[in-house]
Amino acid sequence: MSRVSFGRRLLSGALLVTAWLVTGAAGAGQVENMRLWAAPDHARLVFDLSSATRTHVFTLDGPRRLVIDLDDSRLEADIDRLDLTGSAISRVRTGVRDGHGLRVVLELEREVEPRHFTLEPNDQYGHRLVVDLEYPGESAVEDPIDPIEAMIREQEIAANRARAESGGGTGQVASEAAVALQQAQPHPRRDIIIAIDPGHGGEDPGAIGPGGTREKDVVMEIARRLQRLVSEAEGFRPVMIRDGDYYIGLRQRTRIAREQKADFFVSIHADAFNSPRPNGSSVYALSQRGATSETAQWLAASENRADLIGGVDGNLSLDDKDEVLRGVLLDLTMTATLNDSLTIGGQVLDQLGRVNRLHKSRVEQAGFMVLKSPDIPSLLIETGFISNPEEERRLRDPSHQEGLALAIFDGLRDHFQRNPPPASLLAWRRDQNRSTDGNAYRIQPGDTLSQIAARHGVPVAQLKQANELNGDVIRVGQLIRIPRS
């Protein structure tokens, strides 16, 4: 073989190897972007991928690291743009693994419990790998409820539950709950806890207006204004379900409210439709039978699908299984809890009508996931249609945001001033005013208004009028005035 022939064959082989490498590189998946959100109890790292990719995630010690391997992938994202502030991650390193894979190493400042899953493309994103770094023992809220306040609320909840379970009659469970309630004496004068839930967050922007306004940003501004109003009102205390730009699963939002012993849960959103014409505010309470109108049904479905965008579909989390099984408790929502929701919703709707046009003149009912807490009155408020250009502009206006927040708070405050929880400061103040006029009586397990009225020789209607009661619902531990006959 001549040197020329050998050289040609060598060149031809080199070109074939080069072509194979280029083809292999072209076929590799790409990490197009990396996004990080930090929450009080976890951090979430999302990889935007050009195609579905096999991944391996594991931890290493000494020093503490989390390793994320992506098969047949290369990095196109700029990791230097990641803001690590508030997360458990101190540094991100990357490198090539086995010649054609990508290795991402997260250097950690604290112990984490990692969880990861992949998501299929949707209307907003392509293939994604989601890595959650959960912090053991941390609370999901910045300022969790004080243990003493939690104990008092537990006693109230136990007493109310015992009364419901006993069917209004007396029994061992009711007696034990009454004893527990008495242990909180002298009067606790606790704050009424309002759980404020700004919808969406993190990788879920919610609806986007024609001018590019993101729902998650607008509702956070309104929620923070509401938080300030609640905090400044004596006898009230706010709990922010989401206090930054990160995502929280729909079921977890109600779970946080229950853990914080909230008296009321309000979820704030901005509406959207496939037409720019609809406008106005709406208030929703839970409907056990689904939606009460076609619009409400469509809206409930679109809001509930946010879990798929956020990547917390119940099928992906074993932790959520027990919560789903507890769905039987939702039967309770059509009793006192749902009645309270509808009553408060009406008052909030009246106040919203003073600062904005109302899309519907009554409280709508739909099957929103965030309203499905069996023992907390809950509302979902659509502050306006972000899909309407004029309303989008108003929703960005700080003065309009303040007006919406004030309307929501005024509705809540009016209700709780008339119907304060028994152990609250507002109830104590009302009881003090009444104690000098007529006889006072504290509700015991098994009591009914008709029994109390007969026992004290006064008409039921007079008893209701003296205590500003709109219905027959009374609560264990509540102090009512017995008017002089």
Q: Give 461-484 pLDDT, tens digit per residue.
A: 888 888 878 778 787 777 788 887
Taking 60 as the threshold, does the pLDDT of residue 22 lie above it?
A: no
Please give the residue that has the higher pLDDT: either 403 or 333: 403
Among the residue ranges 109-118, 161-170, 233-242, 446-455, the one predicted with the least confidence is 161-170
The per-residue pLDDT for 434 is 59
pLDDT tens sequence across 165-195: 555 443 444 444 444 444 445 567 899 999 9
The per-residue pLDDT for 116 is 95
- Kindly state the tokens that stand for 48: 């935007």
Cβ-Cβ contacts under 8 Å for 372 (sequence gap 6 or more)? 254, 286, 327, 330, 333
Among the residue ranges 141-145, 377-381, 469-473, the one predicted with the least confidence is 469-473
The per-residue pLDDT for 14 is 42
**C-alpha distance from residue 449 to each of 165, 462, 463 (Å):** 18, 11, 8
Among the residue ranges 33-47, 137-151, 217-231, the one predicted with the least confidence is 137-151
Q: What percent of the chain has pLDDT over 90?
A: 48
DSSP 3-state of 258: helix
Average pLDDT over residues 295-323: 53
Could you tell me which of 126, 43, 49 has the C-alpha nearest to residue 92? 43
Average pLDDT over residues 406-425: 92
Average pLDDT over residues 378-398: 96
Q: What percent of the chain has pLDDT over 70?
A: 78
Could you tell me which of 306, 261, 302 has the C-alpha nearest to residue 284? 302
pLDDT tens sequence across 99-139: 889 999 999 999 999 999 999 988 788 999 999 999 998 88
Among the residue ranges 37-46, 307-316, 427-436, 476-485, the one predicted with the least confidence is 307-316
Model confidence band, residue 403 (pLDDT cutoffs 50, 70, 90): very high
The per-residue pLDDT for 71 is 94
Contact 179, 361 (CB under 8 A): no
State the Cα–Cα distance between residues 189 and 236, nearest whole angstrom. 11
Please give the residue that has the higher pLDDT: either 377 or 433: 377
pLDDT tens sequence across 263-308: 999 999 998 888 899 999 999 998 866 555 656 766 777 777 666 5
The per-residue pLDDT for 19 is 33
Instruction: Tell me how far the alpha carbon of residue 218 is from its chain's centroid.
Output: 16
pLDDT tens sequence across 343-372: 999 999 999 999 999 998 999 988 888 887
Average pLDDT over residues 60-67: 95
Among the residue ranges 321-325, 399-403, 437-441, 446-450, the one predicted with the least confidence is 321-325
DSSP 3-state of 180: helix
**Summary mean pLDDT of the chain:** 81
Cβ-Cβ contacts under 8 Å for 249 (sequence gap 6 or more)? 307, 310, 312, 317, 320
Among the residue ranges 136-140, 259-263, 321-325, the one predicted with the least confidence is 321-325
Partner residues linked to 186 by β-bridges: none
Partner residues linked to 119 by β-bridges: 128
Could you tell me which of 367, 253, 226 has the C-alpha nearest to residue 307? 253
Task: Write down the pTM of the prediction.
Answer: 0.74
Contact 420, 427 (CB under 8 A): yes
Average pLDDT over residues 197-204: 92
Taking 50 as the threshold, does the pLDDT of residue 238 lie above it?
A: yes
The per-residue pLDDT for 117 is 93
The per-residue pLDDT for 184 is 41
Please give the residue that has the higher pLDDT: either 18 or 357: 357
Taking 80 as the threshold, does the pLDDT of residue 162 lie above it?
A: no
State the Cα–Cα distance between residues 372 and 138, nearest whole angstrom. 24
